[in-house]
Structure 1
Amino acid sequence: MAPGLPTAMDRPHFIGIGGAGMSGIAKILAQRGAKVAGSDAKDSATAEALRALGATVHIGHAAEHLADDASCVVVSSAIRADNPELARAAELGVPVVHRSDALAALMDGLRPLAVAGTHGKTTTTSMLAVSLAELGLDPSYAIGGDLDAPGSNALHGTGEIFVAEADESDRSFHKYAPEVAIVLNVELDHHANYASMDEIYESFETFAGRIRPGGTLVISADHEGARELTRRLAGSVRTVTYGEAADADVRILSVTARGLSSEVTVLLDGTELTFTVSVPGRHYASNAVAALAAGAALGIPAAELAPALAAYTGVKRRLQLKGEAAGVQVIDSYAHHPTEMTADLEAMRAAAGRGRILVVFQPHLFSRTQELGKEMGQALALADASLVLGIYPAREDPIPGVTSDLIVQAARAAGAEVTPLSDQAGVPAAVAGMARPGDLVLTMGAGDVTDLGPLILDRLAEVRG
């Protein structure tokens, strides 16, 4: 039986309760019996899912939304210091708890498995949550994306395992003490918080140092950044490597494309295992093998976990098929870093057959575009044609001279066919004018570009129907 409520979290108030990470913690607390309340900038299906669990969700931020009897206020790093509910908490003397501390408290008394890395965290965490549930282990989990319905990013399970996505962006993953940790890759990202690769390595070393005594670090043998981290750790923690590299402890022998899925064969403890990954591409196959190695480190027989991984059929925004109209499939991709963009475009190239790949790309964050705009443009050269939208600012203020034109120019220099488009309202018509039967259209980015998929499908049906 999973533990009950953490101390002083029986009446939490979440500022930004509709966010991926915040809503998951709120959901688990509500399922454990807490009186959950919170606010968000706009209403959403996630907010409605929380209300269905008994949570009070206010729209907009105002001091009066914070109840006088709130036991704590939960915030993420995205909440600004001038938020009126935060100011009201200070007036009332209500403790303020960071999201990562709240999640760490939820893991107390359980067997935590934390998934870290610059890319692939949500997918790998989801694979573990689904496959462990398939085996009847009823894990608790907190994921940075929805599996198949709004609010499905978290669950309070009755089992002893807690699977959590561990976010390095603000160093909040230093709060966790996992029994097993996964590091999928290590690259420079989140430039507002990390100035160099050395700072990134130091942060991941701290995370690895938090693994419980006798625990295990599962880490990629294929990514140079992960290999460097392994060298820096120098045996300070029990390590299991995985990947296609010849020296990997869990070695990927082959990945065979089967349409929008893959057949993967691995060598683990001297035994070959072949299983299906129900999403396309080597990148996702590698994520599945990381999940397999981590489950084995927890003592779950690999021969049982491998077939259970096939139960994972995707997570929203991770190469999610939005629909088909006029012979054109529209797929949503959360990729916003050049490595992720390249992996998704390569996976789609393998699945597209003779069809073309058309991309609607929305850059995410001014700081990321400033540092990686050239590499983003080079990644778009893997598509047959792209539309590039304005930068989605998220939590950042504009940086003078930093626009999506940095990406457009780099893409053109790499030989890509790319068109800048400042007005998102014009995207459906533009795509309908480009696409033809057999093509794949990717809406790509971490911002509101995801909202364009249904509009593109409607326009394709209207024009070509």
Structure 2
Amino acid sequence: MAPGIPAALERPHFIGIGGAGMSGIAKILAQRGAKVAGSDAKESATAGALRALGATVHIGHAAGHLADDATSVVVSSAIRADNPELVRAAELGIPVVHRSDALASLMDGLRAIAVAGTHGKTTTTSMLAVALSELGLDPSYAIGGDLEGPGTNAAHGGGDIFVAEADESDRSFQKYAPEVAIVLNVELDHHANYASMDEIYESFETFVGKVVPGGTLVVAADQPGAVELTRRVRELPSLTVVTYGESEGADVRVHKVTPRGLTSEVTVVLNGKYLTFTVSVPGRHYAHNAVAALAAGVALGIPAHNLASAIGKYTGVKRRLQLKGEAAGVQVIDSYAHHPTEMTADLEAMRGAASDARLLVVFQPHLFSRTQELGTEMGQALALADASLVLDIYPAREDPVPGVTSELIIDAAKAAGAEVTAVHDPADVPAAVAGMAKPGDLVLTMGAGDVTDLGPQILDHLSS
């Protein structure tokens, strides 16, 4: 057996290997020497990157893709029971391993930092991965997005630290036993899996309860859900709780966030001393993500001033206010925001970064269940833009829900005084944006679906 690889993951087959979470685990296993194979619905740069690491990647799903000698089939919660490769695994008696169990096994024996929260996980995990790498600590990491610098979402490092994005959507983060857990915020989302805030709190309590004895919880001091979670877990034995934020009583207090164009300067008070550093993305909530990363690193014993300088080397993660380019004096920026809180934070960040610019948004709602529950709030968030185009709902893993369409968002946006237009065919978006945009404007493509593909098309249209 190759070093550092559990027996079940010696020859794993990943169904949906191109997904953000799945591909990261597959990359780490390939780098550790496992014989990785898998399938995905379509060709992608991720599939190519996996092949470059020695993985076998099939396009499309078929029973014949699964090798008879596979030691396991790795799945996420998005894989349906009738997937032909999953059906074939049952016929062959090949064990099925959930993505979260595979990731948990990769963390065994390492000092793990697990980053959780309804929003901000990818950015915070990325900041830590970059900073720890910059300090020569060579961490392993698994992230839900590709770093701008290395251009990847995962790596097997030679150091003893493993930084992982911890997904609460299907409760899979309850499988991890980190030395440091970060909770950025706690809000109701993933309505297909959680019926109430009480269920959300219970899930996060279970996650925090898995922190190893003597470990640390780094938790937001300003966000109401995080404050309530802190109240519920503060008395857990052998747990150190470190709060961060602008609240006067925060252990790591955010003293000031100063916008500097598309960056920010952040000053914190830590152990009675002031520390100032730069964050390469705009907006208060990204600054808070950086402070959470700082607090987590300090909890592992890394000097704060070294960490602060290293965090300044972070250059962003794809789809998190990522500048796609500029044409005809118009900047096009891509945002993964799909929950109203995220949408509001990114729109406010862009307002702060370029207060004189008009802000035009192309928004694609993500999931019928989320739109059904939060469509009104999404529409209200779009009122922060000067004008918006709203696409049809990106279904991802869900089937349509009768009566749930983008009109829920559009009606709410108009009621909030927003200028908003429905666009049903994404192919119509580039021309529509080109007809609206003027030199000096900012265009934001926003959503967790394939709206990201429109940025380059918009730039091409603006250039023509």
**Retained in 2: the 8 A contact 1:361–1:389?**
yes
CA distance in 2, matches of 1:329, 1:455: 13
Q: Residue 274 of structure 1 corresponds to which residue in structure 2?
A: 276
CA distance in 2, matches of 1:34, 1:151: 22
CA distance in 1, matches of 2:141, 2:175: 16
CA distance in 1, matches of 2:436, 2:209: 51
In the TM superposition, what whole-angstrom CA distance separates every residue of 1:175-208 from its partner, at most 9, and x where no partner exists? Answer: 0000000000000000000000000000000000
Give the secondary-structure state (helix, strand or coil) at the position aligned to 1:57. strand
Give the secondary-structure state (helix, strand or coil) at the position aligned to 2:9. coil
> How many angstroms does 1:42 deviate by?
0.3
In the TM superposition, what whole-angstrom CA distance separates every residue of 1:95-149 from its partner, at most 9, and x where no partner exists? Answer: 0000000000000010000000000000000000000000000000000000127
**Retained in 2: the 8 A contact 1:76–1:99?**
yes
> How many angstroms does 1:7 deviate by?
2.3
CA distance in 2, matches of 1:386, 1:3: 52
Letter aligned with residue 209 of structure 1: G
CA distance in 1, matches of 2:404, 2:25: 35
**Retained in 1: the 8 A contact 2:39–2:58?**
yes
CA distance in 1, matches of 2:269, 2:292: 13
Give the secondary-structure state (helix, strand or coil) at the position aligned to 1:279. coil
> Percentage identity across aligned positions?
82
Q: Residue 4 of structure 1 corresponds to which residue in structure 2?
A: 4
Q: Residue 450 of structure 1 corresponds to which residue in structure 2?
A: 452
**Retained in 1: the 8 A contact 2:336–2:448?**
yes
In the TM superposition, what whole-angstrom CA distance separates every residue of 1:324-356 from its partner, at most 9, and x where no partner exists? Answer: 000000000000000000000000001123110
Q: RMSD in angstroms over aligned alpha carbons?
A: 1.0
In the TM superposition, what whole-angstrom CA distance separates every residue of 1:352-402 from its partner, at most 9, and x where no partner exists? Answer: 231100000000000000000000000000000000000000000000000
Q: Residue 188 of structure 2 corresponds to which residue in structure 1?
A: 188
**Retained in 1: the 8 A contact 2:148–2:315?**
no
Structure 2 gap segments, 5+ residues each:
none
| 1:366-445 alignment runs, 5 A limit | 366-445=368-447
In the TM superposition, what whole-angstrom CA distance separates every residue of 1:399-448 from its partner, at most 9, and x where no partner exists? Answer: 00000000000000000000011111100000000000000000000000
Structure 1 gap segments, 5+ residues each:
none
> How many angstroms does 1:3 deviate by?
5.8
In the TM superposition, what whole-angstrom CA distance separates every residue of 1:76-105 from its partner, at most 9, and x where no partner exists? Answer: 000000000001000110000000000000
Change in CA separation of 1:112 and 1:3 when aligned onto 2, cut-off 3 Å: farther
Give the secondary-structure state (helix, strand or coil) at the position aligned to 1:429. helix
Q: Residue 310 of structure 2 corresponds to which residue in structure 1?
A: 308
CA distance in 2, matches of 1:271, 1:155: 34
**Retained in 2: the 8 A contact 1:115–1:183?**
yes
Change in CA separation of 1:150 and 1:157 when aligned onto 2, cut-off 3 Å: closer
| 1:78-97 alignment runs, 5 A limit | 78-97=78-97
CA distance in 2, matches of 1:151, 1:73: 27
Letter aligned with residue 37 of structure 1: A
Q: Residue 41 of structure 1 corresponds to which residue in structure 2?
A: 41
CA distance in 2, matches of 1:114, 1:130: 15
Q: Residue 147 of structure 2 corresponds to which residue in structure 1?
A: 147
> How many angstroms does 1:235 deviate by?
2.2
> How many angstroms does 1:150 deviate by?
8.8
Count of residue correspondences: 461
Change in CA separation of 1:3 and 1:202 when aligned onto 2, cut-off 3 Å: farther
Q: Residue 199 of structure 2 corresponds to which residue in structure 1?
A: 199
Give the secondary-structure state (helix, strand or coil) at the position aligned to 2:250. coil
**Retained in 2: the 8 A contact 1:352–1:439?**
no
Letter aligned with residue 158 of structure 1: G
CA distance in 2, matches of 1:448, 1:347: 22
Where in structure 1 do 4 or more consecutive aligned residues deviate above 2 Å?
A: 148-151
> How many angstroms does 1:270 deviate by?
1.1
| 1:55-204 alignment runs, 5 A limit | 55-148=55-148, 152-204=152-204
Deviates more, 1:346-355 or 1:257-266: 346-355
**Retained in 2: the 8 A contact 1:46–1:151?**
no
| 1:193-232 alignment runs, 5 A limit | 193-232=193-232
Letter aligned with residue 449 of structure 1: V
Give the secondary-structure state (helix, strand or coil) at the position aligned to 2:379. helix
**Retained in 2: the 8 A contact 1:50–1:151?**
no
CA distance in 1, matches of 2:149, 2:298: 29
Change in CA separation of 1:407 and 1:150 when aligned onto 2, cut-off 3 Å: farther
1:287 aligned to which of 277, 280, 289: 289
CA distance in 2, matches of 1:421, 1:88: 41
Give the secondary-structure state (helix, strand or coil) at the position aligned to 1:451. helix
